A and B are shown apart, each in its own frame.
Chain A
Amino acid sequence: MNSDPDRSGQAGALTVLTPIAHGAEPALRAYLEGLREGASPLARLPRTHFGRWVIVSELVPDDEPQPDRLAGPYLLFTASFDGPLDSYLDELCDELAAEALEIWGRCAGAPQPPTGAPLKAYLRAHHQTTGFFVAAYPQATVGDVRAALAQREDVIAFARAAQGMDPAQLHAAFHDRLGG
């Protein structure tokens, strides 16, 4: 049993909902959608498996039987990451300092500038605890996954190349290329 609902094995779930400052939604949306043009800033957080920013203008469609209307839009940030939350937030606040200014800098109540320990405290204060978090490979870190994927390619290439080798060649080539 996993007693921490924000964890599945060594993997953690971070869910943060912050109110967007009045009038700031269009610029925030444009900034976030513009991130597609280059490398994602989340690539600089090597413990991040998956991450997303979502602008929540309304929680549910307006023809829902009992809709709660939002007073203003919210920014949802989620990440599936490796290891402890505390050090992950440290890395996020440190490594994404420039982006945080453009993103959480447009959120109501965020520290100005949104960096370091004040940003970390802000994100923690707006964290939503997960109910149920499931991971297909809960013990594998991003590094484990990437290494395993690269090694699989090496094994496939080696298995093809090895088809014509005699035992002595095979033995030597394996230790040279896949010997670990």
Chain B
Amino acid sequence: MAIAEGSSAGPLTATGTDPRNVDGQAICITVFSTVKWWGRLWLPLVFLYARLVPSAHGKLARLSFIHFARWTLVERLPEQRLRHPHLFFESNFNGGWEEYIDAFSHILTRGMTLFWGSSYGFPKPLPTGRFKDYIKRHQIVASHFYSAYPDATTTIVLSSLELDAKLRDFRQRTQGMDPEAFAHAWRAFVTDVQRCL
């Protein structure tokens, strides 16, 4: 069974996502998987590697639609004895669910295996069909999801922050300029920040 539960909040959105997992452009995904015994030793090393090696972040940064994501090894629960540790994954992203999983599989092929390779039933990231089925079966629909800036994609946020830095620099550089020189500088500025607009 897929473990999406509760009454439906309506039909799936155009992006193929349960509306309870959506706030504006933002989408959330919540996944637990059962970890084999050796994952208890392996995953902390993977996490440490990911934190220590900046290039591990580089590939994630290429997934330009992720705002925030996290992986957590859950070994204990209050009032519950767990025979196995569990890997908890959550992501806050924008775009379509299918495209998200596709991009994850194609760009982070090795990283996905590092993170989920110790989970029972994990198929290889490629081809993506079996991996999508795996995620669909393991994801849990949120009862409430919130984004502080629901209409902004990750790309727009990053563009806006880059534009802010460049505008601060432009203000400084053009202080005291006469109108002719300012107009010239403005045209160059607009060309420079075109991709942020």
A105 to chain B, nearest CB (A): 15
Residues of B within 8 A of A66 (CB): 34, 83-84, 120
7 pairs of A and B residues whose beta carbons are closest in the complex: A32-B143, A131-B47, A148-B160, A167-B183, A167-B179, A171-B179, A42-B146
Any B CB within 8 A of the CB of A115: no
A40–B190 Cα distance when bound, in Å, is: 37
Interface string of B23-40 (1 = CB under 8 A from A): 100101010111000000
Given contacts A40-B146, A136-B66, A151-B160, contact A60 B197 (CB under 8 A): no
**A-B contact count, CB below 8 Å?**
249
Name the distance in Å between A180's Cβ and chain B's nearest Cβ: 5
Q: B12 interface residue, CB < 8 Å from A?
A: no
| Cβ-defined contact, B183 with A171, below 8 A | yes
Which residues of A have CB within 8 Å of B67? 49-50, 80, 135-137
User: What would 5 more interface pairs be, CB under 8 Å, given A137-B67, A137-B157?
Assistant: A54-B143, A60-B34, A64-B34, A65-B34, A130-B70
A92 to B5 alpha-carbon distance, docked (Å) = 27
Least CB separation from B141: chain A residue: A54
Contact across chains for B158 and A137 when beta carbons are under 8 A apart: yes
Q: What does DSSP make chain A's interface, helix, strand, loop or mixed? A: mixed
Closest to B23 in A: A40
A90 CB-CB contact with B under 8 Å: no
List the B side residues contacting A55 at CB < 8 Å.
Answer: 5-6, 140, 143
A161 at the interface (CB under 8 A from B): no
Most buried by A among B6, B68, B92, B152: B68
Contact partners of B3 in chain A: CB under 8 A: 57-58, 60-61
B68 near A61 (CB under 8 angstroms)?
no
Given that A40-B144, A58-B3, A148-B161 are contacting pairs, would A136 and B61 also be in contact in the complex, using a CB cutoff of 8 Å?
yes
Contact A54 B142 (CB under 8 A): yes
Interface: B20 (CB within 8 A): yes
Docked complex: B72-128 residues within 8 A CB-CB of A: 72-74, 77-80, 82-84, 86, 88, 90, 92, 120-121
A127 to B141, CA, bound (A): 21
A148 touches B148 (CB 8 A): no
Chain A residue, CB-CB nearest to B120? A65
Tier of interface size on chain B: 35 or more
Shortest Cβ distance from A78 into chain B, in angstroms? Answer: 6
Q: Tell me the B143-160 residues at the A interface (CB within 8 Å).
A: 143-149, 152, 154, 156-160
B88 touches A15 (CB 8 A): yes
Residues of chain B within 8 A (CB-CB) of A101 are none
Whether B86 contacts A60 by the Cβ 8 Å rule is yes
Contact A145-B147, Cβ < 8 Å, known A33-B6, A52-B28, A66-B120: no
Known: A108-B79, A132-B50. A80 touches B68 (CB 8 A): yes
In Å, the complex CA distance between A130 and B5 comes to 25
Question: Any chain A CB within 8 A of the CB of B168?
Answer: yes
Q: Which residues of B contact A33 (CB under 8 A)?
A: 6-7, 9, 20, 143-144
Distance (whole angstroms) from the CB of A108 to the closest CB of chain B: 6
Whether the pair B161, A140 counts as a contact (CB closer than 8 A) is yes
Output the least CB separation between A12 and chain B (Å). Answer: 10
Query: Are A145 and B152 within 8 A (Cβ)?
Result: yes
Q: Please provide the chain A residues from 19 to 66 with a CB less than 8 Å away from any CB of chain B in the complex.
A: 19, 29, 32-33, 35-36, 40, 42-43, 46, 48-66
CB pair B146 A50 closer than 8 Å: yes
Best-buried of A32, A54, A78 by chain B (most CB within 10 Å): A54
Check if B43 sits within 8 Å of A142, measured CB to CB.
no
